[in-house]
Every structure is written in structure tokens, then in C-alpha cells.
Amino acid sequence: MSNPAVGGVVGPLVARSQHIVDLPDSLLALLPESDAPIHDGLAWVHNGDGLVGWGRAAEIEVTGPGRFDEAQLWWDTVTSSAVVRDDVDLPGSGLIAFGSFAFADHTEATSTLIVPEVVVGRRGDAAWVTVIGTGLSGAPPLTTHDCGSVATSPTFSDGSVDGITWQGLVAEAVERIGRGDLDKVVLARDLVATSPEPIDVRAPLSRLADEYPSCWTFHVDGFFGATPEMLVRLERGLVTSRVLAGTIRRTGDDVHDLALAGSLARSSKDLEEHEYAVRSVADALSPHCSSMNVPEAPFVLHLPNVMHLATDVTGVLKGEAGALTLAAALHPSAAVGGTPTDAAVRLIDSLEGLDRGRYAGPVGWIGAHGDGEWGIGLRSAQIDPDGTTVRLFAGCGIVADSSPADELAESDAKLIPIRDALTPR
């Protein structure tokens, strides 16, 4: 199912990108105020660089197993007729679309590509504005806005299952793995935050960007978060994927955390989980790459609340596949699904007890020539249409040695970024 003209493409799109100067430190401060329950601003920010956008020049919503192919076909149609004048010629300039895709093939949650009317980007010392529409127009004046703050604490409650029940699901998964049904499965849980008034997503976004600058802070159609995991980046023929699997919670004591990082790097359980994830990414990318580099051992990625085992897989693109095609080939990786993929997804469907929506699906952007960045929608939440209810998600990789209590604690740690972002300082 698709709705290719939600944003109304009247004719071929025209895009113009121009260099600009004097951007604020935070790109998110450029997002204008909105009266809509779900803010229509779009964001993809990392270490101060990235893209923000607003308005709707064109949009498509898709569902079902063919959602990636439908979206790609629509994007090919849009770009083939577009007129683009790009004076910047950097990744993210020119005609682009932001996107967010549902995790499961069979879900009521939609997936979307959105072409904004205005995009502002920054990459190192370069900054630009892109205006997109059905006719050529000048760049609008760019003004900064107060992103505000969360004024009232929401009420948090259990989502689909409570913590005790979820531990039982983990125990069931461990039993299935012990029987040889599969090697690894990722089980997710959700929390529900209820606010007395609609949430202006710019406030939690700004906090996430401030506190987790090394993550990719994103917002597309009410789905927001700060993901540490790059599913795939395609930049002028170079393919990159950051794999995270294996997690330990930080204590705030630097000396103790250093010791914990060492134990994580030696943990047979976490190394096993990580190996499955790296192998799944390498296997999925290999048909699309003429050469690949897969490091033999992971490094430890330090984030403010947790540490992960991480591996950066790189390759050289062969053929004409774009970033969205590569993201579709990779999804779901073992980091968010399991190993073998088909068996893990079946177990998730039968055991997990929740609809993930866009959680753990690809989120990011794509350019007119196929370059783009797609993260995995982790450390994330979905704002309901009324603007006052938010579903928070976290997941854990379950293998033969997993402990239900430890996995519950890990999931609690992964929920901290969004919980904190929704709570007054």
C-alpha cells in the first residue's frame, strides 16, 4: 500500500542549494515552531553537523513487505524528473528526502520518505540551504528559535508487558536457543510516557544532541531518538556500516568503567553476540561490494550511559545500488533481529508481544544520486498522533548464556536517554 502524494507533487520538483554562513551552534535551533501535535521538523544531526528540514514538498507512505521497493521506485521517479542546481556538491546538498521505515513486514505502522521544502545542512566548515518546490524560489531568512524545555514530567508506565513478564520471555528465548532452534534473538520491550500536554519534540531532541553528540539524533514524523548505530552510509562509492552488539552499563566512575570496558571486550557471551551481528552485515553487503574490510576484533564504544562492542565494516560499491537499497538488504541485521534471521524474526513475532512500529527500522536520509545515511532506529520513541503519548523502546540480544535479570537491567540502561530527554532537568 502506498500513498505517493501525501505532500502533493504537482509537477517536477526544483531544488537549489547555496552556501551560507553564520549558522548557530545547534542546527536544531533553526527548526521553526509548530502548532501541530507532532512537529513536522526533520532532523539528522551528529557532532553538530548534519541536516534539518521543514515543510513538505513531497511525501510517500508505504507499508508491507514491499515498502522499501515502493519507496525506492517513488524516489527514482521523483529524482528522474527533478531539476537540481547544486552549488555546494556535498553529501546532503541538492535534492534529498528524510525517511523512516517500519521494522516488520506485517505491521500497521507506516514507513515514509519526506522531501522537505527547506533543508539546512552543515559539514565541517561548509554550510548550505536547499529550497525545494515546484518552482525556483529564493532561500528564506533563517532565524533561530528557542527549542524550549520539557516543563512537566510525564507519567511512565509498562507497555505491552511488565519487567517480570519480559524476563520470562527472555528465559523462553534462552530455552529455544539451547534447543538449537536459533543462535541469537533480539527481544524488545516498551514503556509508555503520558504527558499532560502535547510534547514539542524539539526540546527532547536538543537534549539528546547535547548529551549524546556522538550519536545520530533524528526526528521523522514523530519518531525520534539518538542512535549509536549506523546501518549504512554510502558516500561516493564508499560503503560503511557500524555494528553494535554487546553492551555493559556505565557507573560514572572512570576507573571502574575502564575495568568494565576490559571485561566487555573479553566477555564470551558479548563477543558471541557481536560476531553474529558483524557476520550478518558482511554477508548482506558482500553482493554489493567489490572489496570489503571486516576487522577481526571489535573496539569498545563509550557512550555516556553504556558501552558497546563496535565494529566498522567498510566496502567499495559495485553496481548502482543506492543507500536505501543497501539499507533494505541489511535489514534486519542480527543486531536487531537475530541469527538465523528468518528464525529470529519468527520468534520475535510469536514471543515479543508488541508491535515495534519503526523501532529498530532504518531511519535517515537519501540524496538524488543514491548517497545517504541510514541509522538503526534505536534509543528511540514514537509520539502518538495526539502528541501527549510517547512509546519508548529498548532491545537486547539474547544468546545461550543470557541472564533474564541482566538483560532487563541492560534494557533499563538503554531506555535512560529517552526517559531523561522527556523529563525536566
- Distance CA(154)–CA(405), nearest Å, equals 26
Instruction: Say which of 61, 184, 407, 414 is annotated catalytic.
Output: 184
The β-bridge relationship of strands 380-383 and 223-227 is antiparallel
CB 30 within 8 Å of CB 142:
yes
d(CA 172, CA 388): 34
Preceding peptide of 332 cis, ω within 30°: yes
d(CA 192, CA 272): 32
Q: Is 117 a catalytic residue?
A: no
Residue 338, by phi and psi: left (phi above 0), alpha (psi -120 to 50) or beta?
Answer: left
What string of DSSP letters covers 242-304?
EEEEEEEE--S-HHHHHHHHHHHHH-HHHHHHHHHHHHHHHHHHGGGEEEEE--SS-EEEE-S
Longest dimension (CA), the chain: 64
Instruction: Please provide the DSSP assignment of 195-252 as one string.
Output: -SS---THHHHHHHHHH-TTSEEEEETTEEEEE--EEEEEETTEEEEEEEEEEEE--S
Check 59, 70, 229, 410 and give the catalytic one: 229
> How far, rounded to the nearest angstrom, does the alpha carbon of residue 346 sit from its chain's CA centroid?
23
**Active-site residue, 229 included:** yes
Q: Write the DSSP string, 65-86.
A: TTHHHHHHHHHHHHHHH-EEEE
Beta bridge partners of 391: 192, 382
**Active site (catalytic) residues:** 184, 229
